[in-house]
A = this chain, B = another copy of it.
């Protein structure tokens, strides 16, 4: 049996696809001694988080809260609550996370109609239109910021088409939330999930979600029980709202303390300033990487500022360089997923990691290595 000593980690610079660096104020808030999950003081913390999540998502939805598990569980929350066996669901796939949406929708017993685009390109609204016309969709699900490819998916036209078809619009905003423009109400999004560990820069483990009245109506009209007890909104919402605040599960108190402080930091900075900061540092990084011979996977108009997917220049051993970055410079960047494994890097500029110093640290290290 191995001897297990005090935790002794290296001081990493997190520039991968998440988690991102966490502000010291957030770490400090997280280390606050606990209160109970039904303590009036904790219920107030939940109210604070709800209010700030509404503000940062630009929504008035009363059913806005945080799932007590990572973003993948947020994805599952949206689908298991809105889909029943036999329903038809249009799922847009332009990367790993669209594929995951389709997998989960099938596990809900739904018939999945796929709209695909080449990975690295956005979904074409014309294809969406055809797919919506080919079935009676209960919902359309699409990834706003594909973390596997670095594509920013425009949503407004697809939202309009989805509304016209009578379906609900479900959006994955795991990587876009708090890093680029996102307007839940104005864009007509009915259900949305995100993650705590990307541009919000809280530790991983929580998934902010929001549901429109139309989504709640679908939930209220279900004929079958939600297949997941843990994610069943008909119960979870009684813990997050109403007079009684009924016990459902024990909330992750410390993680919620952290999230509250991360949200405060976002609002102190201001959303528009934050978006600008992500964009400006993306442009600096882009120029520097292009000078070093890296080429972006995604064309300029559809590029995510916080997730820079770049092709590895010929002749470079990408794995060896990533190891060197980690071991000699303490810098983490992400490798490719799925068909892009070994072919691209995913460089994150998320939340606290979207600074000029991060850009300079990485470019300086790469110049020395290459």
Interfacial residues, chain A to chain B (CB-CB below 8 A) = 1-2, 4, 6-7, 9-12, 14, 16, 18-19, 21-22, 27-37, 39-41, 45, 47-48, 51-52, 55, 68-73, 75-76, 100, 103-104, 106-108, 195, 197, 203-205, 225-230, 247-255, 257-258, 260-261, 264, 326, 332, 337
Report whether A229 and B48 are in contact in the complex, using a CB–CB cutoff of 8 Å: no
Given contacts A19-B36, A19-B250, contact A107 B203 (CB under 8 A): no
Tell me which residues across on chain B come within 8 A of A332, comparing CB atoms. 35-36, 39
- Give how many copies assemble into the complex: 2
Report whether A205 and B203 are in contact in the complex, using a CB–CB cutoff of 8 Å: no
Tell me which residues across on chain B come within 8 A of A104, comparing CB atoms. 229
**Smallest Cβ distance from A323 to chain B, in angstroms?**
9
Tell me which residues across on chain B come within 8 A of A250, comparing CB atoms. 18-19, 70-72, 195, 197, 204
Report whether A70 and B70 are in contact in the complex, using a CB–CB cutoff of 8 Å: no
Tell me which residues across on chain B come within 8 A of A68, comparing CB atoms. 69-70, 73, 205
Q: A10-B41, A18-B250, A19-B37 are in contact. List 12 more A-B contacts (CB 8 A).
A: A1-B51, A7-B260, A19-B36, A35-B332, A70-B251, A72-B230, A73-B249, A107-B226, A107-B229, A195-B250, A204-B254, A252-B255
Given contacts A39-B332, A195-B250, A251-B204, contact A22 B34 (CB under 8 A): yes
Report whether B31 and A12 are in contact in the complex, using a CB–CB cutoff of 8 Å: no
Report whether A227 and B227 are in contact in the complex, using a CB–CB cutoff of 8 Å: yes
Partner of A261, one of B1, B7, B195, B248: B7
Report whether A227 and B107 are in contact in the complex, using a CB–CB cutoff of 8 Å: yes
Report whether B27 and A70 are in contact in the complex, using a CB–CB cutoff of 8 Å: no
**Smallest Cβ distance from A13 to chain B, in angstroms?**
10
**Smallest Cβ distance from A355 to chain B, in angstroms?**
15
Report whether B34 and A203 are in contact in the complex, using a CB–CB cutoff of 8 Å: yes
A9–B39 Cα distance when bound, in Å, is 10
Closest to A335 in B: B38
Partner of A7, one of B29, B72, B227, B247: B29
A261–B8 Cα distance when bound, in Å, is 11
A250–B337 Cα distance when bound, in Å, is 14
Tell me which residues across on chain B come within 8 A of A32, comparing CB atoms. 7, 9, 27
Report whether A2 and B48 are in contact in the complex, using a CB–CB cutoff of 8 Å: yes
A–B complex contacts, Cβ < 8 Å, 16 sampled = A1-B51, A2-B48, A4-B260, A4-B264, A12-B33, A12-B35, A69-B73, A70-B251, A71-B250, A72-B230, A72-B250, A73-B249, A108-B227, A205-B205, A205-B254, A228-B228
Report whether B34 and A10 are in contact in the complex, using a CB–CB cutoff of 8 Å: no
Given contacts A204-B251, A228-B228, A253-B203, contact A9 B28 (CB under 8 A): no
**Smallest Cβ distance from A132 to chain B, in angstroms?**
24
Report whether B11 and A253 are in contact in the complex, using a CB–CB cutoff of 8 Å: no
Report whether A36 and B51 are in contact in the complex, using a CB–CB cutoff of 8 Å: no
Tell me which residues across on chain B come within 8 A of A230, comparing CB atoms. 69, 72-73, 76
A225–B277 Cα distance when bound, in Å, is 43
